[in-house]
Structure 1
Amino acid sequence: ETRWLERHARKFGAFIEGEWKFSSSPRPFVPSVDPCTEEVLAECEQAGKQEVDQAVAAAANAFKGWSSLTGHERAKFLYAIARSIQRHHKLFAGIESLDNGKTIRETKNIDVPLAVRHFYHHAGWAQLQEQEFAGYRPVGVVACIIPWNFPLLMLSWKLAPALAMGNTVVLKPAPSTRLSAFLFCDILKEIGLPPGVVNVVAGDNEMASYLVSHPSISKVAFTGSTAVGKQIRKQVAGRGIKLTMELGGKSAMIVLQDADLDACVEGCVDSIFLNQGQVCCAGSRLLVQEGVMQDLVAKLKARMERLRMGTSLDKNADMAAINNESQLRTISSYVEEGKKEGGEIFQSNLSFNPSKGYFFKPTLILGLQTCSSLSQNEIFGPVLVVHTFRTPDEACMLANNVRYGLAASIWTERICVAMEMAKKIRVGVVWINSHNQFDAAAGFGGCKESGFGREGGKEGVVE
């Protein structure tokens, strides 16, 4: 990781028309910080309107040549991207962990393999374009705006289908996690992707707003908070361009009394403590049938005590750091609010107590009302709120009692009951006896204030 950063002198600009470019006028550089140590990894130049204009123009110029290639010709490039990421998988995993704060075990086993899978999968759709998508045409230049919780994976979710169907892209990574996108640009140069097909500009919210409102953009694909999603929706309204948004969530894990409680405990760990709870579809609400409430909570507390916290490159760590200081403050304020609302707070008694870094202990909260702020709002951290229910119908009602509609999971030995409940829950994805299961062949997305449109699968390609 250090050698790659030093090769760029730890300074990055915009990637436009296949080349690294720095602004001719003085622009501020923003540091990329390791959340575990608070050390500066690199500095990134803030792009402005000039760089956005250049990037969009480069994408528009490249569109004619790229869209005129056959699906098989474009597939060759997607296969090359996938193989190149595989070849450099250790570097990608290391950079993603350092820049984001998540454990190296997660980036090696989840982020990088899933990113590769998306490029392989959509290379297949590119080859089948003439048969499966006869009559469909590429939309043009796509503006892709991605969040900081899964930088590389979200990049692949956006770019793979766009490139496969003949579109060109201007990508805007999150301010705190830009390095994996810059490493990806080096991969594009390595495989010889035509200049201008993919352009990366890193800037602030003002720059992102200018990109979204640019007249040469034909589609916006956004993953991020519901608040920002609403602003983007207003900006593109009436312009006749396509829009896909995957926003916040407050997903429920529903545990019926006949469920395998040990499996449920591991499901909780995977759903709310994965990536320190910074997952849009994290199971942040645990709805438990009254008869097994005490047993499940006891097992869950014991499991939380065995979780291991460490730095992002610690191979034995289950959890690492929150991505940024602002998010750490947000999580802390929600937990304090939970105390004021009468919640019973349980936190793991972990021995890991670093002097620096944005760490937060896994937290369990009981005794809150279902209308409390912690039960209704997306916390985006390792905080699990527990409620009880008596009947499956009541569980579905509680699951629907939020403004979000991204995902849910149902835990029971009776699959027929789970299938009936799944029909009643207003979310985009329902898992049965599992949580946070993803595949490039399965469409993902939400409803209500969790957004609209799908990414992944054939339905994602149509978008």
Structure 2
Amino acid sequence: MTPSAVRRAPHAPSLIGDADLPPARHFIDGTFVEGSTDRVIDVVDPCTEKIIARIPEGTAEDIDRAVGAARKAKAEWARHVPKERSELLHALADRVAEHADLLSRLESANTGKPLAVSRDDVAMTVDTFRFMAGAVRATTSMAAGDYAENHLSLILREPLGVIGVVTPWNYPLLMAAWKIAPILAAGNTLVLKPSEQTPLTTLKFAELVTDLLPSGVLNIVNGYGATAGARLAEHPDVDMIALTGSVASGRAVARAAAESLKRVHLELGGKAPVVIFPDADLAAAASGLRVAGFWNSGQECDAACRVLVHESVAERFVEQLVDEVRALVVGEPTCGEDVEVGPMVSKAHFDRVCGYLERAKKDGVRVATGGEALDGPGYFIAPTVLTDVSEGAEVAREEIFGPVITVETFADEEEAVRRANDVPLGLSASVWTENARLSHDIPARLDFGTVWVNSHLVLAGEVPWGGFKGSGYGRDLSIYALDDYSRTKHVMHNHGC
């Protein structure tokens, strides 16, 4: 059974008006500026396929200008004491909170997200700035002392300088905040390139906080990764490049950064296994996956997308999961608070996800529900559960990044761990069991940066986020992010002479 149609509201008021849109320009040295060429990029509403804005296509020249502004501003910003940086971050949080409704509507208009998802993004954006505002005033390090005779050692934490940032299309505002907040807290300046598909809330953020930020501390250049992003990664005056995006983008950035030996921070893809043991609360697991597998339409690097369930309870679990998935409400964000699943972000991504589904069917994978595109306009795909998925199947190993959950079975603990780890990515996973031993033993054996037990997709600003293997390196959120965006200096004083 597949939902017959997308819920639409053709006569509903538009989410945004022209006055809600940000300036369609770059933001450099504290002001919005025109690009170096006349080329523009269309920003498309994925629900209607209509153009809602056009932004300038940034060039290497635009990046150079932004890096120059960030470099000019870095010394003064680095001299601000933690209290001053903290107060500015709190002011940024206040400004985002003040305009939460506008930012939520703008995010949904640009991405097609249900409003519940966009509101959650904005709320965590506020929390991210508030956490970093507090954390920067409570940093710790090795105690000063004599570690060599007659020599006093001091450990200093210093800013890195200018940070280049590339953010993805699935969480435009939130992923920008995950980078901006710790980068500024640590005393750095930055140049950020948002996804060319979803730049609107990042630009709006800059417009809303222009009066709060010193000129040049935050700069935003629109454009494509192959030009603007590549120049940012290779730029000799950029001290670190931080990217949230695909594995392919991560490889490209790391290669470009290698020439100047700049630091690299990568948060890349995921293929999260959900390991369900026979004693698990199956109803709770199915209900949890309704959210964790389809939040943001499954366009999640940490989505609960790959179920490994014990063979003795597989049939019963699949029935419960399918019931939950069939109850999901697919629709445009203007169609009610109960809409849970929106469109894919673009035609290209829609075609990519559909391609995975078509190949899976040809390979003998069974579609328990969904498995097809929904009638347009828009890039909607029915929430899908695939079963009879064999070990090593394409849909079980590669990141689909859509509203698709695959189901495999296992016979014992060893097989569950082996198969869960048998993917090139290592961002997140979850284990579902009521057994205390399993709840500790299995997470310790899983090669993933975050492992939930009896839940999935729960985040907090106080704890680190990042992966292993092909999912990259470096940590977002928590005090570990502050460490990533700063450097350690040892100063030793000879006091024996």
**Alpha-carbon spacing, 1:264–1:368, altered in 2? closer, same or farther (3 Å):** same
Distance 2:205 2:76 in 1: 22
The one of 48, 51, 58 equivalent to 1:47 is 58
1:320 aligns to what? 342
SS in 1 for 2:304: coil
Greater helix proportion: 1
Residue type of the alignment partner of 2:25: G
TM (norm. structure 1) is: 0.95
Residue type of the alignment partner of 1:117: D
The one of 65, 69, 77 equivalent to 2:88 is 77
2:136 aligns to what? 126
Distance 2:177 2:77 in 1: 18
Aligned residue runs from structure 1 range 350-365, under 5 A: 355-365=376-386
Aligned residue runs from structure 1 range 229-240, under 5 A: 229-240=250-261
Residue type of the alignment partner of 1:334: Y
Q: Which moved more, 1:135-144 or 1:229-238?
A: 229-238
Deviation of 1:131 (Å): 7.0
Residue type of the alignment partner of 2:108: S
1:188 aligns to what? 209
Aligned residue runs from structure 1 range 60-459, under 5 A: 60-108=71-119, 110-129=120-139, 135-190=156-211, 192-204=212-224, 205-314=226-335, 315-348=337-370, 355-459=376-480
Q: Per-residue CA shift, 1:152-181, capped at 9, x if unaligned?
A: 110011110000010001000001000010
Distance 1:200 1:2 in 2: 27
Deviation of 1:6 (Å): 2.6
Deviation of 1:270 (Å): 1.8
Distance 1:193 1:131 in 2: 29
Distance 1:132 1:299 in 2: 52
The alignment status of 1:56 with 2:56, answered yes or no, reads no
Structure 1: tracts of 5 or more residues without a match: none
Q: Which moved more, 1:207-216 or 1:2-11?
A: 2-11
Residue type of the alignment partner of 1:164: A
Distance 1:139 1:240 in 2: 13
Structure 2: tracts of 5 or more residues without a match: 1-12, 144-154, 485-497
TM (norm. structure 2) is: 0.89
Distance 1:423 1:296 in 2: 25
The alignment status of 1:14 with 2:26, answered yes or no, reads yes
SS in 2 for 1:72: helix
Residue type of the alignment partner of 1:203: G
Distance 2:142 2:57 in 1: 41
Deviation of 1:48 (Å): 0.9
Q: CA contact under 8 A between 2:16 and 2:109: conserved in structure 1?
A: no
Higher CA-based Rg: 2
CA root-mean-square deviation: 2.0
Distance 1:245 1:306 in 2: 36
Q: CA contact under 8 A between 2:270 and 2:426: conserved in structure 1?
A: yes
Distance 2:102 2:192 in 1: 21
Distance 1:416 1:410 in 2: 12
Distance 2:66 2:86 in 1: 23
Deviation of 1:41 (Å): 1.4
**Alpha-carbon spacing, 1:185–1:152, altered in 2? closer, same or farther (3 Å):** same
Distance 1:82 1:11 in 2: 21
Distance 2:358 2:257 in 1: 38
Q: Per-residue CA shift, 1:237-260, capped at 9, x if unaligned?
A: 252321110111111001111111
Percent sequence identity over aligned pairs: 32
Q: CA contact under 8 A between 1:13 and 1:46: conserved in structure 2?
A: no
Residue type of the alignment partner of 2:75: K
Q: CA contact under 8 A between 2:326 and 2:383: conserved in structure 1?
A: no
Q: CA contact under 8 A between 1:98 and 1:313: conserved in structure 2?
A: no
**Alpha-carbon spacing, 1:10–1:189, altered in 2? closer, same or farther (3 Å):** closer
2:38 aligns to what? 27
Runs of 4+ in 1 over 6 A off after TM superposition: 1-4, 130-133
SS in 2 for 1:127: coil
Q: CA contact under 8 A between 1:94 and 1:313: conserved in structure 2?
A: no
**Alpha-carbon spacing, 1:238–1:349, altered in 2? closer, same or farther (3 Å):** closer
Distance 1:392 1:405 in 2: 19
SS in 1 for 2:131: helix
SS in 1 for 2:32: strand
Q: Matched residue pairs, number?
A: 459
Residue type of the alignment partner of 1:55: A
Higher relative contact order (CA 8 A, sep 6+): 2
Deviation of 1:416 (Å): 2.5
Q: Per-residue CA shift, 1:268-308, capped at 9, x if unaligned?
A: 11221111110001121100011111111011111112111
Q: CA contact under 8 A between 2:89 and 2:181: conserved in structure 1?
A: yes
**Alpha-carbon spacing, 1:181–1:344, altered in 2? closer, same or farther (3 Å):** same
Q: CA contact under 8 A between 2:168 and 2:245: conserved in structure 1?
A: yes
Deviation of 1:355 (Å): 3.2
Q: Which moved more, 1:12-21 or 1:410-419?
A: 410-419
